[in-house]
Amino acid sequence: MCRAQRTLAERVTFTGVGIHTGAKARLTLHPAPVDQGIVFQKDGVSIPATYQYVVSTQRSTNLGREGVVVATVEHLLAALGGLSIDNLTIELEGPEVPIMDGSALPFCEGIEGAGIVEQEGEVEDYHLERPLFVAQGESLVLAMPDSQYNLEGSVEYPSPQVGLQRYRYCGYDNFVTHLAPARTFGFWSEVQELLQHGLGRGGDLQNALVFDRPGFKAEENLRFRNEPVRHKILDLAGDLVLLGRPLCAFVLAINAGHKLHVEFVRRLAQEMEKDA
């Protein structure tokens, strides 16, 4: 299926801190011409938002080129994919995309406030023609041919506040209401380990859910009963944008993370080249 390419009507800026570095960041999204794609600009270097430029996937998806890195891009990319934005120049001041409230919702609201415009060029979905999967240990990402874009996630954690969760996001669902509000999360037992590895320095109770911490009551703090698995699907949606083209397929992710997502996108790209 073809549709008109889309960009912003005007620029929009976001400010905040990076969840892992704790550093201040300023992010400005600029309208871009037809066929440019989504491109980050930092320190004079252009970094396309495609899988070829992924440099690390430890707790987040990070892109880099010529020694310049833009970190934690997945929530922003999920918002762009969810709102069908094809062409954009993203200017980043700071080491990391700001975490905002831990979800993609602030990005969606800012983008919609700036306005979205259709362009002269067209973009065509990539229709997967045969099953495809990648797996590692107990983690799996599987794709099947489908008539539309459908994502399903399954996670299981020993925490009684999370446990086993499954959720399916269908192509006809509203991204802004069904996935965008789901926030990043972790567990009280992980906090010290993250800090020891130099991660999570910008995390706080305003931008992350911390399960099993003293006094935490899930029923009073969650936006969705199954907010963790929705956020995992949000991460998957952001990483799938790295394919560089809208996808038409059913994708199932079980206990998967950014590393497996990106490997899956690489495999998808190989299939896309075969079908070209």
Whether 20 is catalytic: no
Per DSSP, 53 falls in state G
Neighbours of 82 (CB within 10 A): 24
Distance CA 228, CA 183 (A): 7
Contact 264, 134 (CB under 8 A): yes
Distance CA 27, CA 13 (A): 6
3-state percent helix, strand, coil for the chain, nearest multiple of 5: 25, 35, 40
List, as one string, the DSSP characters of 170-220: -TTS-HHHHTTTPPPEEEGGGHHHHHHTT--TT--TTT-EEET-TT--HHH
The pairing of strands 139-144 and 150-156 is unpaired
Distance CA 101, CA 182 (A): 10
Half-sphere exposure in the Cβ direction for 80 (13 Å, CA): 31
Question: Amino acid identity of 263?
Answer: E
- Which position among 20, 75, 231, 258 bears the catalytic label? 258
* Residues known to be catalytic: 258
